Structure 1
Amino acid sequence: MTAWGNEGFGDARLFLRELFEAAVKAADPLAGIKAHLPAKPKGRTVVIGAGKGAAQMARALESVWDGPLSGVVVTRYGYGCATQYVDIIEAAHPVPDAAGLTASQRLFEAITDLGPEDLVIALICGGGSALLPAPPASMSLEDEISVNRVLLSSGAPISAMNIVRKHLSRIKGGRLAAATRARVVSLIVSDIPGDNPAYVASGPTVPDASTRHDALDVVRQYRLNLPEAAVRHLQSSAADAPRPDDPLYQQHQHFIIASSARSLEAASDVARGRGIAPVILSDSIEGESRDVALVHAAIAREIAEKNRPFAKPVVLLSGGETTVTIKHGCGGKGGRNSEFALSAALALQGLTVVGLAADTDGIDGSEDNAGAYFDGNVVRELRALGYDPQEMLAGHDSHRAFSSVNSLFMTGPTGTNVNDFRAILII
C-alpha cells in the first residue's frame, strides 16, 4: 500500500475508494426515479424490471409512489433486498439459468392482461440480458446459455453482444413491452457506452433499429461459434424484431436516470475538493481491457515523467466497458477490471502512480471483487512471491495476482450499475 501522508492527502487507496463511492452514490436510482416519476394512471400500476440493481430500484420506487403498486423484478443471486409490494426473483448472472427463465415468464404474466388505462413502470439496468433468458421455440435454454458463454469470451463490445442477444429472444428488443396494451414508462440506469437505452439489458422494453442481418454480421466479425439452432434462427424471419417506429411504442416513454457520465462528474467534484485536478478521459471507452490499460498507462507515464499533457497532481478518470477475449485453454480467474489493473501495473513499474479499476455494481466478472488497486510496485511484489505477472496476464489470472498482494477491491453489491470506473492518481 502506498501512502501519501506527507502530501496531505492521506492514503491514496482511500482517496480512490472515496472517488468510487461518489461515483456509485451519483448512480443511486432514487433521485432519478423521483425526477422522472410518471403520473398515476386511471387503472393499475404494475412494476417490472431486470438487472443487478433492479431490486434497489424497486425499493426506491416504492418509497416515492403514492398509490397501489404491484409487480415483479429479477436480479442477480445475492442482490435482492426487502420490498413491500414488488416481488423479487433472483437468478444467475452472467450466464443464465432456469430461475431466469421463470422470471421472464413472470414478467410477461404481470403485464399481458393490462389495458390502455393501466401503467407499466419498467426498471431496467445492466445485467438484465443474462437475467432474462427467453429463447425462441426453435432454441432451448441450454442453447441460450451456450450463446452467452460464447459472447462473454468473444471480446465483442456490449453493444454488439446485445444485437445478437435481442435477435435470439422472445423478451429482448422491445418484445416485453409489445406484450401489453398498457402505457410503458422505462426508467433506465445505463451501463452502455453512449447510453443507448435500447442496448441496456438488450432493451426488453425499448426496441432499436438493428436487424437479424446485423446480428449475423456480428457473428461473422467475431467468429462466434454459436449453437446450430441459434444460427438457423438468425437466418430466418422469425428472428426479426419490432422496430422503434412501430405504432405500438408511440405512447411509451423511456428515461436514462443514471449513467457513467454523471458518476464521473461526481467523482471529479470530490477530487477537486481534495485539491487534485480531475481529468475525464471518456465515459464511453470500449476495447480489449489490457490494450485500453496500456493507453491509460502511457498517459499516466507521460504525466509522471514529464508533467504533461496535464500537470501534477492529477487524477485520470474514465468509464465505459472494456472486454476480455478469453484464449482457448486459459483457466485463470478474473474480470475485465482486474485484467485492466494487471496490464496497467506492468506498464507502470517503478512509477509513483496509484490506480483503481472496478465495476460499479461491485462484481468484476464472476468473482467476489469489484476490481483491483494497482501501482508501480505490484509487479515487483508479485515477482518476490515467485509469480510471473506477464504469464498471469496471458492466462487471465488477474484475480489470483491481486489477491496475492492484498490489492483486490471489495465492495459487495452496490445496488446500481453504470459499468466500469477507473481512476489513476499521479502526484
Structure 2
Amino acid sequence: MDAQPGKLDDTTARAALRRLLDAAIASADPRVVLAAHLPEPPALGSGGRVIVVGAGKSAAVMAAAVEAAWPRIPLTGLVITRYGHGIRTGRGENDRIEVVEASHPVPDAAGEAAAARILAMVQGLTENDLVLALISGGGSALMPLAAPGLTLADKQAVNRALLSCGATINEMNAVRRHLSAIKGGRLAAAAHPARVVTLAISDVPGDDPAAIASGPTVPDPTSFAEAREIVARYAIPLPDHVRAHLDAAAEETPKPGDPRLAHAEYHLIATPLMALQAAAKEAEALGLTPLILGDALEGEAREAGTLLAGIARSVAAHGHPLRAPAVLLSGGETTVTLGEAKGAGGRNGECLLGFAVALAGHPGIWSLMADTDGIDGSESNAGAIAGPDTLARSAAAGVDPRAALLAHRSHDVFAGLDDLIITGPTLTNVNDFRAVIIAGAPAAARP
C-alpha cells in the first residue's frame, strides 16, 4: 500500500489499521520473545530444581515457550490462565508444566485452588533451586488467594466494585495486594531462599512491576494506608470484615529491601511501548508517518477519545504535530465509570465512540482501538474501527451514537455497523492499542 496524499480511501485505511494491530500483537508473542530472556538453570550436580509458576492471559503460551526452549531441563510447574486461553505446553502427553484455566476479570474457585497450589509449590525450597515466574496481565484476578480471614466471595465482591468505580489499574492493584496471601511480593517471599526469576509481559501504564498482576514476586511500595485511601476516594463499598482487615493492617506486604526478596530478579520481555514501536515500523512500510503519543495514556475513555480526535483534527487542518498521511499511535489503559448503567462493550469501544462523536464525520480520518489480548470488556471482540461515515451509518440504522455513548453501549453501535474487530484470544497482552490514520496533506501545508 502506498499511502501518498489522496491515495487513502476507506478500504485501504481499514486494511492498514488492521496491519498495524497485527504487528503490535505479533511483537509481544512469547513464542518469539521469551527464550532470549531465560536465565541459566541450576548447575548440573547442584541438586537444584526448576519450578515454573505463573498467572495471566499469556501464562500458558509463556509456559509452552519455556518447554520448547528447555526440552532437556528437568522442570515441573503450574500456571493459571483465563478460560479459553489454555494450550498444551509440551508435546503430546509430555507436558511438564500444568495449565489451569480460571475466571477473569472476576475470580473463581478454580483460580483460588490453583493459586494455593502454586504457593505450596514454592515453599521448602533451597538456595540451589530456581523458581521461574511467568507473569502477564490478568494475573491478579486469576491468582485470587485471599489473605487469612478473608474468602473468595470477598475477593469477588471487591473485584466487581473495583472494576466499576473508575479507579486506575495501579489503584485497583494496590487494594488487591493488601487483600491477598500471594500478591505484593508474598509469592517470592514464600520461595526464599530459592532464586526467583520473573519473566513478565506488561499490560499496565508505566510498566510498574508491582502493578503487573499485582506484583507477586516484587516488593510492594504501597501500604495498607494507601489502600484505605483509594477505597475512600472512590467510595468503594466493602464488606465490613474486609474493611476491618484493611484497618487492622496486621501483616504488611514485603517492602523494598526485604531480605526474603534479595535473590529475586525481574525481566520485562514485552511491553506496550515495544508493541507501539513495532506498529510504527509497519506504518513506515505502508507509507504513513507514525507518531507515538505515549504508551501510558489513562483517564476516562470517552474523554480520551475526544482528546485524540482533537489531535487528529490538528494534523488534518494544520499539519501539526506532524504532516499527513500520518498515524497517531498510543497505548495505556483508560477507564469507564459505569455508575448505574450496565453497559455493553469495553474501554476501547467507548474511547473509539467518543472519538467518532467528537470528529462528527470529519473526512479522511479513521481509527482502530483494541485490547491486545483480544477481549475488550464485556463482549467477545478485541475492539472496533471507526471512519468518517460512522455517525451517518449509525443514524441510517436508527441508532443514536451519542445516546449509546452516554449509556456506555459502544458495542451496540459497532456491532450494528459490522465494525467490530474479532481476533479471538491472542495469548498475549500489552494493554490497549490505538491507531488513528489521517489521510492527505492540509491545504495550507501543501507546496
The TM tier, using the shorter chain, reads over 0.9
The aligned counterpart of 1:244 is: 256
8 Å contact 1:4–1:12 — kept in the other structure? no
5+ long unaligned stretches in structure 1? none
Structure 2: distance between partners of 1:289 and 1:215: 24
The aligned counterpart of 2:35 is: 34
Answering whether residue 79 of structure 2 is matched by residue 73 of structure 1, we say: yes
Correspondence for 2:106 among 73, 87, 95: 95
Relative distance call for 1:4 and 1:404 in structure 2 (3 A) is: farther
C-alpha displacement of 1:410: 0.6
Correspondence for 1:166 among 177, 188, 192: 177
The aligned counterpart of 2:63 is: 58
The aligned counterpart of 2:116 is: 105
8 Å contact 1:348–1:375 — kept in the other structure? no
C-alpha displacement of 1:338: 0.5
Equivalent position amino acid for 2:147 in 1: P
8 Å contact 2:202–2:271 — kept in the other structure? yes
Answering whether residue 88 of structure 2 is matched by residue 82 of structure 1, we say: yes
Q: TM-score, normalised by structure 2?
A: 0.92
What SS does the aligned partner of 1:11 have? Answer: helix
Structure 2: distance between partners of 1:345 and 1:237: 46
Equivalent position amino acid for 2:166 in 1: G
C-alpha displacement of 1:111: 1.4
Equivalent position amino acid for 1:59 in 2: A
8 Å contact 2:371–2:433 — kept in the other structure? yes
Answering whether residue 49 of structure 2 is matched by residue 49 of structure 1, we say: no
Answering whether residue 14 of structure 2 is matched by residue 13 of structure 1, we say: yes
The aligned counterpart of 1:131 is: 142
The aligned counterpart of 1:390 is: 402
What SS does the aligned partner of 1:46 have? Answer: strand
Equivalent position amino acid for 1:389 in 2: P
Structure 2: distance between partners of 1:407 and 1:417: 22
8 Å contact 2:219–2:258 — kept in the other structure? no
Structure 1: distance between partners of 2:140 and 2:354: 28
How well do the aligned residues superpose, as a CA RMSD in angstroms? 1.6
Equivalent position amino acid for 2:50 in 1: T
**Structure 1 vs Structure 2: percent identity of aligned residues?**
49
Equivalent position amino acid for 1:237 in 2: A
8 Å contact 2:374–2:426 — kept in the other structure? yes
Correspondence for 1:348 among 342, 359, 376: 359
8 Å contact 1:193–1:284 — kept in the other structure? yes
Structure 1, residues 203-242: CA drift from partner, whole Å, max 9, x if none? Answer: 1111221100011111122221122222111111225211
Correspondence for 2:332 among 316, 320, 323: 320
8 Å contact 1:55–1:73 — kept in the other structure? yes
Structure 1: distance between partners of 2:415 and 2:260: 51
The aligned counterpart of 2:283 is: 271
8 Å contact 1:353–1:424 — kept in the other structure? yes
Provide runs of 4+ in structure 1 moved above 4 Å. 3-6
C-alpha displacement of 1:31: 4.2
8 Å contact 1:55–1:80 — kept in the other structure? yes
Structure 1: distance between partners of 2:285 and 2:385: 22
Aligned pairs for 1:84-233 (under 5 A) are 84-181=95-192, 182-233=194-245
Of residues 63-72 and 402-411 in structure 1, the stretch that sits farther from structure 2 once superposed is 63-72
8 Å contact 1:79–1:415 — kept in the other structure? yes
Structure 2: distance between partners of 1:338 and 1:256: 28
Equivalent position amino acid for 1:77 in 2: Y
Structure 1, residues 147-171: CA drift from partner, whole Å, max 9, x if none? Answer: 0001100111101110000001111
What SS does the aligned partner of 1:298 have? Answer: helix
Equivalent position amino acid for 2:26 in 1: K
8 Å contact 2:4–2:325 — kept in the other structure? no
C-alpha displacement of 1:116: 1.4
8 Å contact 2:361–2:390 — kept in the other structure? no
Q: How many residues align?
A: 424
Structure 1: distance between partners of 2:61 and 2:319: 43
Structure 1: distance between partners of 2:408 and 2:251: 35
C-alpha displacement of 1:373: 0.5
Of residues 88-97 and 177-186 in structure 1, the stretch that sits farther from structure 2 once superposed is 177-186
What SS does the aligned partner of 2:298 have? Answer: strand
Structure 2: distance between partners of 1:359 and 1:110: 33
The aligned counterpart of 2:444 is: none
The aligned counterpart of 2:445 is: none
Aligned pairs for 1:331-410 (under 5 A) are 331-351=342-362, 352-410=364-422
Structure 1: distance between partners of 2:237 and 2:225: 17
Structure 2: distance between partners of 1:95 and 1:418: 20
8 Å contact 2:367–2:387 — kept in the other structure? yes
5+ long unaligned stretches in structure 2? 90-94, 440-447
Structure 1: distance between partners of 2:436 and 2:254: 43
Equivalent position amino acid for 2:24 in 1: A
Structure 1: distance between partners of 2:136 and 2:78: 15
Of residues 71-80 and 222-231 in structure 1, the stretch that sits farther from structure 2 once superposed is 222-231
Structure 2: distance between partners of 1:110 and 1:216: 32
Of residues 104-113 and 352-361 in structure 1, the stretch that sits farther from structure 2 once superposed is 104-113
Structure 1: distance between partners of 2:195 and 2:250: 26
C-alpha displacement of 1:185: 0.3
